[in-house]
Chains A and B, each alone.
Chain A
Amino acid sequence: MSDIPAEHDRSARLQAQVQAALADQRPLEIVGSDSRSLLGLAPDSDAISVGDHRGVIDYQSDELVIRARAGTRLVDLEHLLASHGQRFAAEIPAPSAESTLGGAIACGWDAPSRSLGVSIRDTVLGCRLINGRGEIVNFGGQVMKNVAGYDLSRLQVGALGTLGVILDVALRLAPLPERQVSRSFAVPADALEDWWLRCRELRPLLSASCYQQGYLHLHLSGRAAALDELLPTLGGEALDFDWAALRDLRSDFFCADQLACLYLPAQTPVEITQGEALLEWEGARVWVRDGNHDALQREAQAAGGFLRVLRGDPVAPAVAAPQWHQRLKDAFDPEGIFNSAIFGSHFEGGGGR
């Protein structure tokens, strides 16, 4: 734990900043390490920086729970957990070495392993935040099951900091798998549907899939005895596929001016005619670079899904129940001081399905 400063509690200072902004009716944009600005989340008004509010508050490996301050770097947390033979129960993308826990929760951006495992929101046990009244409030806890009151901690996942300043988060953990291996297969696009079905048979040893440029890459993890028996019958090549770069959006593929991803129901293939595609989640998440975002959004919606733009031409948000979004925003942040531009671009609008 030595590389994570234990005493960097800035909650009092952050609370004072929020209260001052409230008194002046001055909007605030919340920033962690600013590593997610590549997701189009760069601040453009007064910033409140959570980056130095960091450190582990509580970690007892027997409980499979860690509670840490929002500014704690994800890489530091991963090292700490690995030294105890553990990891986050849901893999968490870290776009840079500086990426913070709070930023990951606010973005709610899931890793390639989400489809065969759980999502980040599934692993959130509790969350403390400063609300738009300048109060520090704590919801959920550090125990595995907790239904006291509304689930306002999971609500913060993916809320992009529009409901409050996240101070600390408790997350569920999992044991590190005994073994992890990668196998790659040359697969023509028209054979993918059969492969997705085959992927189902590889559960629970299959942990992620990725299809790019005619190659299907499979990530497998589990007990050594099980993988040793499976691998000879599975075939494929042991290529040096960089799963971490895929997870953290650092692969070359993601360096594009136009970047978006389609979320689709399972087994609902969509033909990508413009730009280049990369498939995750057995085809249920399709990244497209250099595509036409309006056309992609139409494709996604026709298939029962939706589009998220990371870079390039924005599309109108298609949230369900837009009136509930505005009312919830007002319930947490009545003066509208937190990340109001992001609220407008991501949560407002009448594109409800």
Chain B
Amino acid sequence: MSAEALLRELRSQLPSERLLTEREQIAPFECDALPVYCARPVAVVLAQSEADVVAVAGACHRHRVPLVTRGAGTGLSAGAKPIEAGVLLVTAAMNRILELNQHAMTARVEPGAVNLQVSRAAAPLGLYYAPDPSSQIACSIGGNVAENAGGVHCLKYGVTVQNVAALRVVTSEGEVLSIGSQCLAQPGYDLLALLHGSEGCLGIITEVTVKLTPLPATTRTLMADFACVRAASDAVSAIVRAGVIPAALEMMDALAISATEAFCHAGYALDAAAILIIDLDGDPREVEAELKLVEGVLGSSGATRVQLAEDDAQRALWWKGRKSAFPAIGRLSPDYYCIDGTVPRHRIGDVLEAIQSFAVDYQLRVANVFHAGDGNLHPIIMFDGREPDALERVEGLAAEILEYCIAVGGSITGEHGVGLEKINQMAVQFSDAEIAQFIAVKEALDPVGLLNPDKQIPELARCQEYRALRHAHE
């Protein structure tokens, strides 16, 4: 491995303003949106084209230097944390929308295109891009693919993998592959599915053809207040039992309600223990029928108040509160840490109660605002990083919560990815044979192990070590 030789080669191919090596130039790229994990790479490359990506991947491969790819840097699992001995490749500037195809209902975009921009560009055609992470005003489509990002409307419309038709990918050797097409099937293995959620460990995405969805003819939004969290949780299952798949079904607990209400005055009930926000969309006649069904279910599930948004302005305000929950909670606490686990819907109530009891043990406060319809929890741990043991307690609490999610039949991550953050919990969710199978896939497609090498899949020795530690602790 020779970083010096690599830099000489890159300097001959890239202008200095796009090859950053000075400390102050690199500083903004030392972490993603999980800033507790930082590192300063040898160089940061600001790619402008697929040719740039090919050049950097090829050079890294020749010189055996690790390569981490970063989109907009909004990831919450440190998946884009650089490696000290490596190169950080930033695709954010590759942000063009290359083609909107009204007939095929697709958009071909560069990986740095921002999620919400794609929907805005498609709106005049009566179309939009359905997956909508809370960070959609900033996050990039390439990053969405790498993490298989979700969002509030995934219950009905699927996550990223269900909404992408094709990819262009640069391999660890610097070759360009074209995966998928405009067809509704593909010959061979489902490489599209394999690349989704592979966290930059199998290839570098240089172009994405996303599927667009017709804008719904009607959207109606309900908000239901509950006097206890358990009743709100049970209402979520009851809605699904009634045969309704809402476009979105979100829940906030009392702490999240008070934080967001203070932040944007959405009109949430400050005396509620939990609220549900529910979107029903589609054919107006179907929406009316389902509205009645859901109102009935909420009434019989113990909702203390059910409101129907009067107009688009009220709908937008309710959603603004939900989507700004993280910064709102950030105002209440010097630091916060958002985690991401998925559980079966009928266990949401159990898990929320367990989280509160763990939080007491660790002397921390936790707010909950999450995708209830998907069973995808986002406990937000509030803490003060200036306290000497605060981060340790936060990490301990986060680990307890994630491992509880596994115990009730869930997963350590629904949409934020493993990254570095949850790498220990991989050893709890998977056996050695399963981890070894992941490693075999990684070695098959990145034989030298240069792409984001320390992320997502732990080494077997580390798994055994973590399991032993955990066992000793118990």
Contact = CB atoms under 8 A, between A and B. Distances in A.
Interface in A123-180: 131, 133, 135-139, 141-152, 154-155, 157-159, 163, 174-176
B148 A147 contact: yes
A117 to B, nearest CB: 11
A64 B237 CA distance: 10
B178 A63 contact: no
Contacts, number: 250
A296 to B, nearest CB: 14
A174 B414 CA distance: 20
Contact of B191 (A65, A115, A222, A321): A321
Contacts of B412: 148
A150 B410 contact: no
B289 interface: yes
Contacts of B155: 144
A165 B76 CA distance: 36
Interface string B402-422: 000000011111111110001
Interface in B27-51: none
A331 B440 contact: yes
Interface string A213-235: 00000000011111001000000
Contacts of A308: 187
A147 B185 contact: no
A150 B198 contact: yes
A267 B444 contact: no
A137 B435 CA distance: 9
B194 A226 contact: no
Given A145-B376, A145-B414, A226 B178 contact: no
A320 interface: yes
Interface string B351-379: 00000000000000000000101111000
Contacts of B104: 265-267
Interface string B169-197: 00000000111111111111111011011
A275 B316 CA distance: 55
Given A60-B346, A143-B375, A320-B187, A149 B457 contact: yes
Interface stretch (A16-24, A44-52, A197-205, A250-258): A197-205
Given A62-B240, A158-B190, A332 B346 contact: no
Contacts of A159: 189-190
B182 A304 contact: yes
B177 A281 contact: no
A271 B457 CA distance: 49
Nearest to A202: B283
A139 B438 CA distance: 10
Nearest to B182: A265
A61 B242 CA distance: 11
A10 interface: no
A229 B284 CA distance: 11
B243 interface: yes
Given A62-B346, A143-B342, A266-B105, A306 B183 contact: yes
Contacts of A247: none
Contacts of A332: 437, 440-441
A285 B422 CA distance: 42
Given A118-B162, A155-B190, A225-B289, A147 B181 contact: no
A115 B184 contact: yes
A145 B371 CA distance: 10
B443 interface: yes
A146 B285 contact: no
Contact of B188 (A65, A151, A320): A320
Given A147-B414, A150-B198, A155 B193 contact: yes
B181 A225 contact: no
A320 B288 CA distance: 45
Contact of A121 (B193, B282, B414): B193
Given A223-B289, A225-B286, A328-B444, A146 B191 contact: no
B414 A152 contact: no
Contacts of A327: 444-445
A4 interface: no
Given A114-B184, A145-B376, A147-B418, A267 B103 contact: yes
Contacts of A340: none
Contacts of B184: 110, 114-115, 119, 263, 281, 284-285
B202 interface: yes
B188 A149 contact: no
Interface in B133-172: 147-148, 150, 154-155, 158-159, 161-162
A260 interface: no
A242 to B, nearest CB: 23
Contacts of A335: none
A318 interface: yes
Contact of B375 (A114, A144, A305, A324): A144
Contact of B441 (A65, A141, A325, A328): A328
Nearest to B155: A144
Contact of B185 (A61, A110, A205): A110
A325 B189 contact: yes
A154 B343 contact: no
A151 B440 contact: no
Interface in A101-126: 108, 110, 114-115, 118-119, 121-122
Given A62-B240, A174-B245, A225-B289, A148 B418 contact: yes
Nearest to B188: A319
B264 interface: no
B307 interface: no
A223 B187 contact: no
B342 A150 contact: no
A330 B189 CA distance: 13
A143 B154 CA distance: 13
A163 B193 CA distance: 15
Given A146-B414, A149-B418, A306 B187 contact: yes
A226 B285 CA distance: 5
Interface of B: 103-105, 147-148, 150, 154-155, 158-159, 161-162, 177-191, 193-194, 196-198, 202, 214, 237, 240-241, 243-245, 282-283, 285-286, 288-290, 342-346, 371, 373-376, 409-418, 422, 426, 429-431, 433-434, 437-438, 440-445, 456-457
Given A200-B214, A229-B285, 5 more contacts: A121-B190, A139-B434, A204-B282, A308-B187, A328-B194
5 contacts: A142-B409, A143-B344, A150-B194, A226-B285, A320-B179
Of all A-B residue pairs in the complex, the 7 with the closest CB atoms, nearest first, are A319-B188, A265-B182, A145-B414, A154-B193, A175-B243, A226-B285, A327-B444
